[in-house]
Amino acid sequence: MVVSSMFNYGPLWKTMEEKGVTQYQLLKGGIDNRTLDSLKKGRNITMITLSRLCRILDCTPNEIVEIERK
């Protein structure tokens, strides 16, 4: 049985809104435009990027990404 997973970055956008963090602030914190595009499209990101996002937003990975099983 093959189970495909899709990353849902909905929690990221909610966390950003709650904390008042803009995409511009992510860019200034070291997240590049290509990575922002990947986040918007639900594509894979590296653990380094996840760590950076956690640092910038002062949060845990659960506040950035959910894994949905299809």
Give per-residue pLDDT as tens, 42-54: 889 999 999 999 9
What is the rounded distance in angstroms from the CA atom of residue 28 to the CA atom of residue 8?
23
pTM comes to 0.86
Give per-residue pLDDT as tens, 22-41: 999 999 999 999 999 999 98
Q: Provide the residue type at 17 as one letter.
A: E
